[in-house]
Amino acid sequence: MRLGRLTGVIYGLVAAAGWGLSAVAATHAARRAGTYLAVLSGQGLGVIVLLVLTAILRPSFAAVNGHVAAILAGAGLLGLLGYLTFYRALEYGGAVGLVSAISATYGGVTTVLAVILLGEHLGAYGTVGVVLAVAGVAMASAHSPATEETPPVAVGEPIVGVAPAPSRIRNLSRAGIPLAFASALTYGVGGFLLGDYSARAGWLTSALLAHGASVTVLLMALPFLGRRKPSRPAASAIGWAAAAGLTDIVGLLAFSRGGSVGQVAVTAAVSSVYPAIPLVAGLAIFGERLGRRQLAGVGLIVGGLVLIGLA
């Protein structure tokens, strides 16, 4: 039993490291290449990794009919909206630690949906976790005098490439909060659908179909987003985007593996601490400043997510 829990802890730590590092890389990518290119590069690399795994593991597609494929594609598109709003929040100058913590509450959205629609039992830990996460979000997004003193930053255009025109943002750490909320909601609903139908079609098959749908839509949108000639992003920007996609897939695979060995709760609880990585990076690398209330809110969010994972 102890060995099993230790396995769950290890996979949870790998997932947390992957997702935390992905948020840091995504910040660099979004602010250098713009949201669209950053998401396309990351998601495209993710699909390539999944295709390689599919060729090696040869999962069955027997359970995938038209209905299942449509639901998984829908889950992928919701996840795409989550990625776009998350990266856009970072591009807009939202504090990476704060945006990541709020976005991470998608786990609470998925849990609540599972309780309402699937009749799953939340339990005492889960209930307290949801309450703490909600309270943390309220505290983190509340007005803080410290955020007003943050200097303005340049923000990218919502098209491919590097933004040529800067705009001023009064509150750096609050700028991406509405987008972070949207990210949590779309991630949560998409994650619920993906998790529910993965049990029928298999995790690798489901992940491939969902990611494939998102990349297909991104490619179809390319002609419409290129009406203005974009600036050519630096190679380092694409490199950061690729790093974000790769580390995100590492986190996903580690989380899925932890669940496959029967340690879903432990893996979920440990992986929920991943917002701590972008929080530290925001303070140390990006020079972000959060007020005490916001830091306390992030702490409540992480604590709530851990309890939800243990539910």
- What's the pLDDT score for residue 264? 63
**Which residue, 101, 106, 100, is CA-closest to 26?**
100
* pLDDT tens for each residue of 230-288: 455 667 888 999 999 999 988 888 887 776 666 666 777 788 788 889 988 888 888 88
What residues contact 203, with CB distance under 8 A and at least 6 apart? 256, 259, 260
- What's the pLDDT score for residue 203? 80
- What's the pLDDT score for residue 95? 84
* pLDDT tens for each residue of 208-238: 999 999 999 999 988 876 555 445 566 788 8
- What's the pLDDT score for residue 2? 63
DSSP per residue over 225-291, as a string? HTSS-PBPPPHHHHHHHHHHHHHHHHHHHHHHHHHHTT-HHHHHHHHTTTTHHHHHHHHHTS-----
311 three-class SS: coil
**Which residue, 82, 110, 107, is CA-closest to 26?**
82
- What's the pLDDT score for residue 174? 61
| Cβ atoms within 10 Å of 64's Cβ, excluding its own | 17
Structure tokens at 2: 């102890």
- What's the pLDDT score for residue 215? 93
The whole-angstrom separation of Cα 25 and Cα 239 is 9
The whole-angstrom separation of Cα 19 and Cα 281 is 13
- What's the pLDDT score for residue 290? 76
- What's the pLDDT score for residue 147? 45
The low-confidence residues of the chain, meaning pLDDT below 50, are 145-173, 229-230
The length of the chain is: 311
